[in-house]
Every structure is written in structure tokens, then in C-alpha cells.
Structure 1
Amino acid sequence: MNLVTFQKRMSKNLLFLISVFFLFNGLISCQFYRNTASRYNAYFLANERFDEVYKNTYIQQKSDFNNVLVVLPPIDSVSMGAFKGELDYVVEKASLPIQRHPESDWTDDSYLLIGKARLHQADYRNAINSFKYLNGNSNELDVRHASLIWLMRSFIESGNLDQASFTMDYISKEGDKFSEENIRDFYLVSAHYYRTISDFDKTAAYLELALPYTKNKTQKARYHFILGQIYQNKAKQGIDDKTINIKKNDRKAYQNYQASIKAHPEYEMVFNAQLNASQVAGTSAEDVKQAQKYFEKLLNDQKNEEYKDRIYYEMAGFAQKRGKTEEAINLLQESLNQPSTNSAQRAYTYVRMGELYYAQSEYAKANSYYDSALAISSEEMRNYDEIAARGEILNQFFEQYDVLQKADTKINLSKMSQEELVKYFEKQIAEEKAQIDKEVAAAEKAAKNGNLVNQGTTNPFASTANTAQTWYFYNEQAVRQGKNTFVRVWKNRPLEDNWRRSNKINSTIDNTANPTEMMADSKMEQENLYATVAGVEERLKSIPTTKEEITLLEQEIEVALFELGKVYHYQLEENENARATFERFIKDFPTNNNIPEALFLLRKICLENKTLEKCDVASYENTLQTKYPASAFAKLISDPNYLEESAVNDTIVTTLYKESYELYSEKKYQQAIEKLEKIQNEYPQNSYNAKIELLRIMSASYIESLPVYVEKLNTFVTKYEGSKEQEYAKKLLEVADKKLKENPVQTNPDDTEKNIGG
């Protein structure tokens, strides 16, 4: 190879290398441009706007400090409605890198940001699809991990808790190393999940893990506050659960409340942390003295003027912790007397009042407070289901108790002389008027303080979708109660000025009304207050005077006693009262069909409560087996498997009964009778006996004479008193009796309408 050839070849190679170099640099420059344009233009703007929205969700969320706070702000269409414009902007801007620079390194980050924005728009389906797409297609480990964490959050917010749990398990098993940001977020979303399902032990565990990775002071203060609440509640559980270390949990609660205060959150959280910290104090004389001094300091601080209802509520809790029930009730009443628009706090105060009276077995008072609490709260209230359930139990109790008390009173009053009755009612009227005076004075004080119970104040538990609902006149219940109260005090009056005065002409600005007229007006207003108080004559009319009226009252007592006994036993677990109620029921109404059940329950109460005095199990068993041997309750004593056997028999009997009824419908009466007799002989222990016997009587009526049919119906009506079949048999008997009178020699009632199928 000569020199010229070599030089030419080297020139070509050099040219090629230079071309490759410039091409490579060009490609790098393009990628650099794409990354720069994606990150610092559209993505940067979208991310900044989303961070602002995310921060505001923390600031604007409403906190119910009587309940364990939620870990992360709730995401739904109502709470996120205010951020619609900002979130639309985030989606629009974050979409640009994907559309214009799909090869940039920030495409996956843009998809992640769009998913977050969709979630905060409550567009759960599209948010979930975005996070699933990233998990399956992203090559960036941090983005993939973040997408799984946000996927878990999406499942929680959309109520798909099973999928959230599955995703949490999946993330936990990921072998790859997580970034500190993703570690923090995973712990927080896990804590959020367990708070959502009210597993507070695991909520606390994950919050403890998240705190070392949390830098934001506001969030740190909130997480410490939540931990304080959880440990404080745990200590309270230790009163009943001896395995829980009360002092240890109180100490941890105090430490977390102090840590929350040191993080300098908003004043409301500082106030509640201070208040709760005083609650976890000990009960020694020195601890009590210090706590009371601290409560007094809080009450005297002008900044706490709007929180006085809450302070008195917590003071009541501290009194309750020390076993001072009467003091707690007085402090709760003081809480209710405070001028406040916080209806959530009022609801919690009502509940605690109800709990205290419930514990003292003062169920009538407890019922009133539970009703008041439920009237102004929503399902977001702490332990709402338990409160509603107890309220329902108390309603059941009070319904029967009220009937029993009124009927007993009327019967007792019917035994008094006219003179005694007049004196009794005069005293009763004076007491009722005194109570009205007391209520009016309290109402005037509350009105002066601007503290009307149903004045339409904002309920933080309620949806904020329609703010007009918080106005008094959009609240139908509040308006209705207001009208009733007005009418009770002032009666019906025309809509006009100066309606309170009897003589409007003299009601002028110069206040020159005649003193005599003013006294008359005052007297009339006083009479209006007592307008609903019935007079002696009206009350005398309510006293039964005939045997029929007393019989009706006794029937009411009969039903109420049995039902009240069951409420005492099953719902209230007041077995001493249950026993006394059932004993009176059996003594006063020995022929009632429910006597066997009452005896069985008395036996059950005695067996389950060995401490009850004079509880004669053998006597109850003997009475059941000798007087009511055919009852299911008697059979349960001799054969504990009776119910199981009866259930099996019922399955067979159901089929046989349907076959018998089909034969009856086809007018194959003799075959129907034979099948029904077979059922009665082979399966005596079943719940269809009344139906079987009535169908047998009806089938035989087409074969036997009308008088025999009437006689059998009469026997049936007596035997199955109180059953549905008895009611139908009475109708058949009425028709048959009429036909028998019209034609005494009629041989059978084949034209009598009958149908008891099913």
C-alpha cells in the first residue's frame, strides 16, 4: 500500500469518526433538551401546583378532637371540590411531557403526578389505572414503588379495603430497596389504612415507624397527637382489661402530646394537646391539685373562650376517672351551658351524660341524652353505631316502661277518693309549673349566651356540600321543634308586631304604659307559659272509672311486663330487674301464653347468676314440666337437643305440609287428612302444629257435619290463643256460626271460604 492510498483511507476513517462523534453529541443534546423541557417547564409547574393543593388538604381538613384523628386527609368529591381548578391545571400541564417528549426521563413521573391529581379529584378508576400502568411498565424503581403506595391509597379512599390490604402485603414483600420518601409514605398510608378500619394498635405501630422519616413539622405534630390519643384510649381500656399497663400508656400519651406541642402546630391542636395531657395525669392528691390548677388556667385564658365547653367536658372526664360521678355530671352540665356553635362537642357531652346515667341504671334520663346526641350527630361520630344501638335499646326499654308506669299509676289512682285525687293533682300541677319556670330560666340564659341547641349551627360531622343546610330555617327538625316550643309557651298568635303584649296600642317607644296594664300583661304571659299544663278537671277525666277501662289498662300492663322483662335480660343485662319483672308477670297474669317462656328465662337467669338470692331453679323447672309439658321450653329442659331435632323435623314437615295442602286444594280431603295425621304422629316436635291442625279441621269439614266443625274450631281458638292461625280460625268460625244459625240442620260447611295456604 503506497503512501497516497494510506492517506486517503485514513482521511475517510477520520471523517467517519468525526461524523459519529457529532451525531452522538447531537443525540445527547436532544435527550438533554427533552429532559430539561419536561422537568423544568410543564412538570415543574404541575408538581408545584399539586404540592400546594396537597398542603392545603392538610390545612383545610376539619378535625374532631373527641375522636382519634385521621392520619391523612380524606379524599372525596365534596372535600376536594374547592381544588377542582388547580387539579385540572395539574393534569393539563403534566400531560404535556407525555405528549411532546415521550422519550424523556420524566414521562413516568408525569404519569404518577396525573394519577395523584386524578385521585384527589375522586376519579378513582382513572387514578387506579394510572398507578397500575406505572407498576407494570415503569423502569424506574422509585416511581414503581411510589405508584404501588398511591395505588394502595386509592383503594382506601374508594372503600376497596380488601384490595388495599392485598397491595400493602405485596409492597411489604418487595425485595428492592425503597427510598426514604417512599418508606415514609408507605408507613403513613399503612397507618391510614389501619386507622380507617379502627385497628388503633397497628395505626400506632406504623406511625411510630413513619415519624423518623417525617420532616414537616405540621404533619409531625399531628402524628404525635394521634399517638397521644391512641395511648390515652389504651390506658382507659386498662380499667376493664387488667393485661394493659395503664401507667405506661398514660406516660406514652403524655410524651406524645408534649412532642406535638413542641412542633408548634395551629392553636387548636396545641390547646387540645395541653387539655389531653392534663387528662393523663395520675389520681394522687398532688396530681389532682396540679390538674385542677391547670384546668383553671385554661378557663381563665381569653384565647380559650370558644373552647370552654370542651374544657368542662375534659374536666368531667378527669372527675369520672377519679370516680366522682356527681361532680362529672355537674361539669358536663356546665359544658352544655356554655355559648358555643360546636354541635359536635355538644353531641359528645350528651353521650357522656347518657353513659353516666346508664351506668347508674337511670334509663329514662339516659334515654333523653342519647336521643339528644343522635338528633345532632351523624355517622362520622366516634362509636356512632354503638351509640345508636344503645339509643335503640333505651327506646325499647322506655316504650314498655312508660306504658307500664302510666297504666299502673292510673289503676292506683282509680282506687283513691275524689278528695285524695284533687290533692294529688294539685300537687302534681304545682311541680310541673315549677319545672317549666326552671326550663324557661335556663332557655333565657342560653338565649342570652347565644347557645340554642337547635339554632342551626354548623355540624362538623355533616356534609358541606350544601352550606345552606346549616341555616336554621333550612333545618326542618329545628324549625319544627322551634314552632312546638313557641306554641307551648305562647299558644297560636297572628304574625304581627308586639305580639308578646296583650294591648299593643299602648306599646310605644316612650315606655309610658300603665303599671296596671303591665302587671296584667305579665300575668297573661305567665298563664301562656302554663297553657299546656292540664287542669285538675282534665286530669280527673283520664282516671278509669269502669271495669272495662281497667281491663284495657291491665292488658297493656300484661304485654309491657313480658317485653320489659326481655329487655332487662337480653339488652340491659339487668337480671335482678328481669327476674322481678317476670315474677310479677307470672303472678298477675297466670293464664298468658308466654308463661312457659317467662319460666324458662327465670331458670336461665338463675343458672347464669349464682349470686342472686332466692333463685329456685328446681321450682321453675317443675312448674314448666308439670303445667306446660307440651311447650317447647319444657322439652328443652329434658332434651337439650330439642331445638336441633325440631329444626330437622321442620324441614321434613314443611314438605309434607305443602303436599297436604295441595291435596286439600285438589279436594282430596280424605287423603289430606291421612297425610296430616301422619305428620302429627311421626313429627310431633315441629313449629307447624297450629297450621297442620287447622288444615285438618278444614279438610274434615267437607266430610263431617257443620256442628262438629264449629265445635272443633272453638277448641282450636282456645288452644292456640295469640297465634296467626287463631285469627283466621275466628273468621272461619264467624262464617260457620252464621250459617249454622241460618240452617241448623246443615250437614257440612262446604261453601265456607277457606284458604290458609303457605
Structure 2
Amino acid sequence: MAEQDMLEAEFEMKKAYKEDYNQLLPILLPIDSVLSLPFKPKLDDAIKKASIVAEKHQNSKWLDNSYVILGKSRLYLGEWADGLEALRYVYANGRDDNDKDNALILLMRAYIVRKDYSNALGVAEHLSQQPLSKSSARDFYLTKAYLHQQNGEYLTSVAILEETFPVLKKSIETARIHFAAAQMYDRLGQYALANKHYRSVKKNRPNYDLGFYSSMNSLQNEVVLNPKKDLSDIGFDKMLRDRKNDDLRDRVYFTMGLLAEHRRQIPEAVGYLQKAAAASKGNLQQKAYTYLQLARINYESLENFELSKAYYDSALVILPREAPEYTLVADRKRALDNFVTEYTIVTTEDSLQKLSKMNPAALDNKIDAIIEAREQKRLEDEAERAKKALIASQITSVANIPNQMMNGNERRWELYDPALINQGKIDFKRAWGNRPLEDDWRRSSRPLRTLAGNGNVASSDSSGLAPEFVANNTLKKGTPEWQQIHDKLKSDVPLTEPQFTESQKKKEEALYNLGKIYRFDLKESQRGITTFERMLVEFPKTQHKDEIYYLLYLSYEDNNANKTVWRDRLTGEYPNSTYARLVSKSTDDSGNSGNAVKEYESVYQLYTDGNHTQALENIESNLPAYKGGMMEDKFALLRVFLIGKVRGKEAYAQAITEFMRLYPSSIYLPRLKEMQELNALSMGKR
């Protein structure tokens, strides 16, 4: 009876588990206490009944089975300590070898869920030497394949599965495992073998979604294997017309977008992905991955960084926090926030400086041309919105004809009918958006945009007037309104020497920050190198020159000749700088580890004694000697503390930022982040 309760709970948990076919399917369903929460009464009942045997019938032949059920049920409920103890009891005291093997297989699975792979491998090694029954051998091999899959060892995992498939019966579980094997072959780049398993999915009674996604993935692989394949023969149109695929149309468009991108048809890929996002019906996970693809394409291929940032923002809102990509997406989103700010400054100042070099007449003509282009774009947008509104109103009128008839042909006044009022509000929002109630709705009364923008102001300052009024509302050259906009745009151009110097300073700092964002946040060393080299060309006397030399030195691989070039330039031009000392000395861990400990203890003693200035001098002179050693980040952390004591909060904040940049993998990084937040609070920045 206890076993039946547990089996029923497992069956319900499998039904409730929602697969994410964009991720690698786990070979075995995860043991998740959150997933089991709705079925806790069943599991509690199984525990209660199995406990009767354990407490009152110690001589029963079902004692081992009862402890296995106890252990498994408690694992499902998240009671790990009790569950593991019950399974270990069976292994240590069990009388039935088959029950002991089953307990060890469950114990191995529990270790995998807790990511304790070393203990899981130890259990697997023991089980591999035992004579197992047919069912136990099947469970053991699936669990061992699951272990290697979760540990990222896909080749070993699929090798075990290949030996296991012949003993698996046709079922939806076997179809899932074939799908997981195909996904691992995809990650290994063996697309032909992957397609073999995608085809096997259909032979093992999959549910509709599993069969659909296996077909989609198989189609992608066919295009990779046969680049000349005609996409029109695949049958996407038929899939889109099939009513059974209404809630999967987003995946069809998503696949079409991936295939178009694979063939470097970027505009088509973007179009399909946008259709995928629009077609999503409650499938937020698929929508999130669609946004991620659009963000990546806009960043890598189109270099439309602002739009890429917007897509990352949208993906982050709907992406589950437990998704493997969540942390990476959040980090990239934060990086792009800063990146877009600095990139906008660079492009804006570039444009303004080019305008400043024009003669006055050419500059005036250029500004007039910019205003004309904006005005034309505004009028086009207004006409398009008016056209959509007209179509929407006609559709609404036809739809509301039955509701508009009363007493024969008499039309009921809308303000007497709440339903018509609500329909009118909906139609208005559909045509014009959620417009605020304001008095300055005319374009001439709108706040002016500066030239520093991207040139497209129509989306935020168009009036939304009807087409018949647009002609009368056109901004005309020579009018006071036109001249007002002209003067405002011209005032942004750095025409005087102080203005140009200020523009150069903004651009220099933005380039410097942009290079560091490429190097440390976006992990794009080559773009960082290009940005730093551009900065050295445009600002040869920059105050950041020594640090840029050092960052260029770090950005090249060890076997690249340019690494030596930048090291030599740094040590030659700035021999006494901190960065020169960092690159000119290396640590012999075996010879200097003892000295490093003694030196650290000496400096730390000065710190505890209150001799902060002396300690800081010692640590800054000796830190480069231990570069690359085990103690380097520990020295650097103590230096941060000392700077806070000696040089004040501003220097302290800068030292924290420098530590986080130079030691991104340090174990002290979480502590530094806390220190940074506390320092920001004390400085009144938050």
C-alpha cells in the first residue's frame, strides 16, 4: 500500500513536470521538493505506512523495501538527511541484495541532485562490480548516464545510453531519453547521430510536444548537414496552417529564424524571430529564448546595441530565475546598460565634432536637413497610425452593428451603454496607445530633443493627429518654431575651443570605459583591444596611458608577440608605475610561497598595530613580487583596507573597483561587493 501511494505520487509529479525543450532534458526527472509539494499527502501516507513495518515488524522480509520507500519519499519531500540515512541503513543492514542495490542506486541519484559527483562516482564504482538484476541494471545504467550528463561528460553519457536502449521498452520515458541523447549529440557536433535519435523519438510513443520538438530539431540538423537543402521543401507552411500547432507556432517561426541566421540571412532571421515573439501564447520560456536570440543577433550581427539591450531586458523579465542562462543574461544586461551609455557618448561626440568642423553655411544646411528628416518621419508615422486607426474603427463598426440597433433602426447613444464605452477605450488604445492626459499635445509645444539623440524623435513627440489635420500641422522652414529647434540643435555643437575640449574629454573617458567594459564585462578581448588602440591614436596624451598599456598586455594571449610589445612599452615609458611592476616580476610559487606568508604576516601586524601608512607603503612595494601566486589577491585585499584607512572614501571606492576588475575569480569577491555597497551608502550614493 505504501509503494502504491508513492507510485501514484510519482505518476502525478511526472504529469505536473513541465519540460523545457530548449534546454538539455535530464535523463531522469529531477527530485524536486517544490514539484512534490502538491502531492505531499500521498508521500506522507507512504511514509506513515512504511514506518509501521520499520517500527513494529523488524523481522519482516519487507523491512528493506519499507526503508527504500521511506528514503525515496523523504528525498522527494526535500528531507535529505532522513532520506539518505534510510537508504544507507538498507545498504549497511539489508538482507536482500536486490533491495540493497536499489537503495544504492537511489543514493547515487540523490548525490547527483546535490551535485556531489565524487560520492556518486564512488557508489557507481561499487555497483559496477555487483551482479545486478535486469531491472536494477537498467536503473543503474540510466542513473550513471544521468550522472555523466549532469557533470557535462556528454560523450560518456551517450555511450552508456547506447548500450541501455536495447533493454528499454517503448514508452514516453524511452522517447524522452532518446531526445536527451540527441541533444547531447548536438552539443558534441555529431548531427547525423543526433538525427538518428530524433527519429527514434517518434518510434517510442511520444506525446505531441515531444514529437514536435524532435521534428524541429531534426530539421535544423538536416540544414546543417545539407547546406543546399531547399527550405521551401521542409513544410513550415503546412505546420503553421495545422490547427494542432496553434500553440506551437512560435517554435516554428523560431526554428525558421535559426535556419535563416545559419545561412547568414539576417533580415529574414530577425523577421521570423519577431513573428515568433508575437505568436507566443502563454509559453513564456520560448518567448524568453526568442528575445535572447534577437538580442544576440542585434548585438553581434547588426551592432544595434540599444535594441539588443532592450531585448535582454525583456528576456530577463520573463526568464525563470532557475534557468541556466539567467545569471549570464543578468550579467550581460548590466554590462550592456553601461555599454550603451558609454557607446552613445562616443557616437554622439563623434557626430557633434564632425559638425563643428563644417563652415557656418554648411552647418546650418545640415541642421535644416536633420529637422526636415525628422519632420518627414513624424508625418509618415502619423499617417500610418491614422490608417491603422481607420481600419480598426471600420472593423469595430461592423462588429458592433448588432449592438447599435435598438427599436428598429434607432442607434443607441454610446454614453448610455457601458459595454460600448469599454469597447471605445479599447479601440482608442489599440490605435493610439496609452496616451497621457496633457495640454502640450501639439508638436510645437513639445519639449525639444537635442542633436545628441539618434535622430528619431517621431516616436516620442508625434501628435497623433488625423490625416486631414497633418497638412496644417507641418513644421515649415522659416517659422519661429523651426528656428527654435534649429537654434537648440546648433547649441549642442562644440563651436568654441572650451566646448570642443569638453567634448573631447567626454569622448576620452567614454572610450576608456568602453574598452574596460569590452575587456572585463562582455569578455570580448579583441573589441577591447581595438577600442584601447583607437584611444591611444586619438588621445596620445591620455592620463590612462599606463593602464591602457597594461590592459592591452593582459588582453593578448601568452603566445602572441603583441603581448611582449605592450609589456616593453609599459616598462619603458612608465618604469615606476604599479602596472609596470605587475608585469615585470613573476612569482615562483615553490620558492616564494613561504616568503609571501611571512611578508603578509608582517604587513598585517602593522595593520593591526595601527601603522596604516607604513603597511600600505610596504604592501604596494612588495605586491608585484607575488603576482601569480596563491597570496596575490590576499595582499590586494589588505591593500584595499589600508587605502580606506589612509586615503579616504573616494580612493577606497576606486580600490574596490580595481580589485574587482583585476581579480574577477577571487574568493574574496563577494566580500568586496558587500564593502562596495556599504561604502556607497556611507557616501550618500544610494
TM-score interval w.r.t. the shorter chain?
0.5 to 0.7
Residue aligning to 2:312: 370
Partner of 2:259: 318
Partner residue in 2 for 1:429 = 374
Q: How many residues align?
A: 561
1:681 & 1:542 partners in 2: Cα distance?
Answer: 44
Matched with 2:293 is: 352
Give a deviation string over 1:451-491, Cα, whole Å, max 9, x none. Answer: xxxxxxxxxxxxxxxxxxxxxxxxxxxxxxxxx99998512
C-alpha distance in 1, partners of 2:52/2:260?
62
Once the two structures are superposed, the pairs formed by residues 444-593 of structure 1 within 5 Å of their partners are 490-492=435-437, 539=489, 550-569=500-519, 578=528, 581-593=531-543
SS state at 2:222 partner: coil
- 2:399 is aligned to none
Per-residue displacement from partner, 1:471-524 (whole Å, max 9, x unpaired)? Answer: xxxxxxxxxxxxx99998512479xxxxxxxxxxxxxxxxxxxxxxx9779969
Q: Relative to 1, partners in 2 of residues 1:643 and 1:577: Cα closer, same or farther, differing over 3 Å?
A: farther
* CA spacing shift, 1:682–1:64, aligned 2, 3 Å: closer
Distance 1:413 1:221, change over 3 A: same
Contact residue 236 and residue 252 of structure 2 kept, 8 A: yes
Q: Secondary structure at the match of 2:229?
A: helix
Question: Using a 3 Å threshold, how does the CA distance of structure 1 residues 284 and 422 change in structure 2: closer, same or farther?
Answer: same
| Residue 349 of structure 1, CA deviation | 1.4
Q: CA 1:640–1:207 in structure 2 vs 1: closer, same or farther (change >3 Å)?
A: same
The AA in structure 2 aligned to 1:268 is D
Q: Verify: 1:594 aligned to 2:544, yes or no.
A: yes
Matched residues in 2 for 1:684 and 1:383: separation?
37
Structure 2: state its 5+ residue gaps: 394-428, 440-463, 474-483, 627-634, 656-686
User: Over residues 296-326 of structure 1, what are the superposed CA-to-partner deviations in whole Å (9 max), with x where a residue is unaligned?
Assistant: 3322222112111101111222333444444
Choose which of 206, 221, 238 in structure 2 pairs with 1:297.
Answer: 238
Question: Which residue of 137, 161, 166 corresponds with 1:212?
Answer: 166
Give the secondary structure class of the aligned counterpart of 1:559: helix
Q: How does 1:249-398 map to 2 (within 5 A)?
A: 249-282=190-223, 288-289=229-230, 292-360=233-301, 362=303, 364=305, 365-398=307-340
**Aligned positions of 1:180-199 closer than 5 A:** 180-199=134-153
Rg: which structure is higher? 1
1:153 partnered with 2:109:
yes
- Asked if structure 2 preserves the Cα contact closer than 8 Å seen for 1:127 and 1:154, the reply is no
Residue 65 (structure 2) pairs with residue 109 (structure 1): yes
Look up the match of 2:181: 227
Would you say the 8 A contact 2:251–2:286 is kept in 1?
yes
Identity %: 26
Structure 1, 45-54 or 306-315: larger mean CA deviation: 45-54
> In structure 2, what residue type is equivalent to 1:276?
N
1:147 is displaced (CA, Å) by 1.0
Distance 2:387 2:293 in 1: 21
SS in 1 for 2:235: helix
Residues 372-407 of structure 1, C-alpha deviations (whole Å, 9 max, x = no match): 322321343354444444444444432321222233
Q: Describe the superposition over 1:613-661 as per-residue Cα deviations: whole angstroms up to 9, x where unpaired.
A: xx9987x778656653433455677x45499999979985995798699
**2:37 counterpart of 1:81:** yes
Separation (CA, whole Å) in 2 of partners of 1:375 and 1:686: 46
- Per the alignment, residue 405 of structure 2 pairs with none
Asked whether the 8 Å contact 1:425–1:536 carries over to 2, the reply is no
Q: Quick one: structure 1 residues 129 and 551, their matched pair in 2 at CA, closer, same or farther if it must change by over 3 Å?
A: same
**Other structure's SS at 1:83 match:** helix
Normalization by structure 1: what TM-score?
A: 0.62
Distance 1:196 1:523 in 2: 64
1:405 equivalent to 2:351? Answer: no
1:342 partner letter: N
Q: Is the 8 A contact 2:124 2:144 kept in 1?
A: yes
CA displacement at 1:169 relative to structure 2: 3.0
Conserved 8 A contact 1:299-1:308: yes
How far has the Cα of 1:46 moved from its partner? 2.3
| Structure 2 counterpart of 1:630, from 576, 587, 592 | 576
- Kindly indicate whether the alpha-carbon contact (under 8 Å) linking 1:596 and 1:631 is maintained by their aligned counterparts in 2: yes
Quick one: which amino acid aligns to residue 357 of structure 1? N
- After alignment, is 254-263 or 385-394 more displaced? 385-394
The AA in structure 2 aligned to 1:171 is L
Determine the structure 2 residue equivalent to 1:737: none
1:654-692 deviation digits (Å, cap 9, x = unpaired): 957986997989xxxxxx9xx99x97999898999xx99
Q: Distance in 2 between matches of 1:253 and 1:565?
A: 41
Query: CA offset at residue 544 of structure 1?
Result: 5.8
| Contact 1:653–1:683 (CA under 8 A) maintained in structure 2 | no
DSSP 3-state at the match of 2:18: coil
Task: Report 1:662-673 matches (<5 A).
Answer: none
CA distance in 2, matches of 1:657, 1:146: 55
Shift of 1:143: 0.8
Query: Could you tell me how far 1:603 is from its partner in structure 2?
Result: 6.6
Asked if the contact 2:253–2:275 (Cα under 8 Å) also holds between the matched residues in 1, the reply is yes
- CA 1:129 to 1:610, structure 2 compared with 1: closer, same or farther past 3 Å? closer
1:433-444 to structure 2, matched below 5 A, reads: 433=378
Q: Greater CA deviation, 138-147 or 287-296?
A: 287-296
Instruction: Output the CA distance in 2 between the equivalents of 1:181 and 1:629.
Output: 71
User: 1:159 & 1:680 partners in 2: Cα distance?
Assistant: 40
Q: Distance in 2 between matches of 1:114 and 1:680?
A: 58
2:310 partner amino acid: S
Partners of 1:650 and 1:137 lie apart in 2 by: 49
Contact 1:653 1:686 in 2 (8 A): no
- The reply on whether 1:419 has 2:364 as its aligned counterpart is yes
Give the secondary structure class of the aligned counterpart of 2:165.
helix
Partner-residue secondary structure (3-state), 1:281: helix
- Structure 1: gaps spanning 5 or more residues: 1-44, 236-248, 449-483, 495-517, 528-533, 666-671, 700-716, 728-758
Listed one character per residue, the Cα deviations across residues 48-94 of structure 1 (whole Å, up to 9, x for unaligned) are 23222222222221001111112222222321112112222222333
Q: Is the contact between residue 385 and residue 431 of structure 2 (CA under 8 Å) also seen in structure 1? A: no
Q: Which amino acid aligns with 1:595?
A: K
Quickly say closer, same or farther: Cα 1:522–1:269, change in 2 above 3 A. Answer: farther
**CA spacing shift, 1:127–1:283, aligned 2, 3 Å:** closer
- Deviation of the 1:217 alpha carbon: 0.9
